[in-house]
């Protein structure tokens, strides 16, 4: 087995996830500096990979843009409903004050800057994660010939990465449930991207998920 793709598409993303965990949970960067570090890491590592491995030619989607993104638009509606219903079911097991306190004290996110942060999370941060976990860690890895491994590794890394975000927010059981949900979401995102030969669909679905999540956060800020 050629070890170079394993290093590029698994080890480098693992290093990135550990780095982001270190910045957030150990150094306790505020949201601005954490986001800056994330932009640098999530763009430089894929660029570094181009030096180590020349990406294989990927299947092209010759459909017009509306046709390309139609699956994403359809499934995004389902995601809006699923996450909303999920929140209704588990809301009694979540402590909004604990999350808001952590956001305010560690990340310096408050009522005055929340809308700006929410917009960044919804559109820019979601694109960055899709580029890193779906385009780099999955689609490039998939095209290198590691089809099954790319599905599993990128989905698990996508879920594990989020530990750095909500490590102190939820109970162990809720966190495990969310990790399972994120892993399954990653597998689905990978599947739809391969079928449509573009990461635009998973980005659209990711945006819809973030709209619900940031809206819930805004409701908490107003309420509490």
Whether the pLDDT of residue 49 is over 70: the answer is yes
Whether the pLDDT of residue 134 is over 70: the answer is yes
pLDDT of residue 2: 67
List b or e across 143-176, with b for residues whose CB sees 16 or more CB atoms inside 10 angstroms: bbebeebbbbbbbbbbbbbbbbeeeebbeeeebe
Q: Work out the average pLDDT over 60-87.
A: 89
Cα(213)–Cα(217) distance, integer angstroms: 6
pLDDT of residue 74: 94
Distances (CA, A) of 58 to 73, 74, 132: 23, 24, 16
Whether the pLDDT of residue 84 is over 90: the answer is yes
pLDDT of residue 214: 95
- List all residues 6 or more positions away from 204 whose beta carbon is below 8 Å from its beta carbon: 69, 72, 73, 76
- Residue 1's pLDDT band (boundaries 50, 70, 90)? low
**Most confident of the ranges 51-65, 113-127, 161-175:** 113-127
pTM of the predicted structure, to 2 decimals: 0.92
Q: Which two tokens stand for residue 194?
A: 């391969």
Q: Work out the average pLDDT over 149-162.
A: 95
Residues 9 and 141 sit within 8 Å (Cβ to Cβ):
yes
- Residue 65's pLDDT band (boundaries 50, 70, 90)? confident
Q: Work out the average pLDDT over 39-61.
A: 84
Least confident of 43-57, 115-129, 144-158: 43-57
Find the DSSP H helices in the chain. 3-6, 12-21, 31-52, 65-68, 70-90, 96-105, 114-119, 126-129, 141-143, 147-161, 163-166, 172-196, 200-223
Geometric angle at alpha carbon 38, from 128 and 23, rounded to 5°: 150
- Residue 34's pLDDT band (boundaries 50, 70, 90)? very high
- Quick one: DSSP state of residue 90? H
Whether the pLDDT of residue 159 is over 80: the answer is yes
Q: Which two tokens stand for residue 70?
A: 């139609």
Whether the pLDDT of residue 50 is over 90: the answer is no
Averaged pLDDT of the chain: 90
Helix (H) or strand (E) holding 148: helix 147-161
Whether the pLDDT of residue 13 is over 80: the answer is yes
pLDDT of residue 76: 95
What size, in residues, is the chain?
Answer: 224
Cα(58)–Cα(143) distance, integer angstroms: 6
- Residue 98's pLDDT band (boundaries 50, 70, 90)? confident
């Amino acid at each position: 087995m050629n070890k170079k793709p394993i290093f590029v598409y698994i080890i480098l993303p693992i290093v990135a996830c550990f780095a982001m965990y270190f910045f957030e949970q150990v150094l306790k960067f505020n949201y601005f500096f954490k986001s800056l570090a994330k932009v640098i890491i999530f763009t430089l590592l894929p660029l570094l990979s181009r030096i180590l491995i020349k990406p294989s030619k990927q299947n092209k989607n010759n459909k017009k843009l509306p046709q390309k993104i139609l699956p994403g638009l359809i499934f995004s509606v389902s995601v809006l409903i699923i996450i909303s219903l999920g929140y209704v079911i588990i809301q009694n097991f979540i402590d909004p004050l604990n999350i808001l306190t952590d956001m305010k004290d560690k990340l310096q996110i408050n009522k005055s800057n929340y809308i700006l942060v929410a917009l960044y999370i919804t559109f820019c941060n979601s694109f960055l994660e899709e580029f890193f976990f779906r385009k780099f860690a999955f689609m490039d890895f998939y095209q290198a010939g590691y089809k099954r491994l790319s599905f599993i590794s990128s989905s698990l890394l996508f879920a594990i990465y989020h530990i750095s975000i909500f490590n102190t927010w939820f109970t162990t059981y809720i966190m495990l449930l969310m990790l399972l949900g994120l892993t399954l979401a990653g597998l689905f995102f990978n599947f739809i991207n391969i079928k449509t030969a573009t990461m635009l669909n998973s980005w659209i679905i990711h945006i819809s998920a973030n709209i619900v999540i940031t809206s819930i956060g805004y409701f908490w800020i107003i309420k509490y």
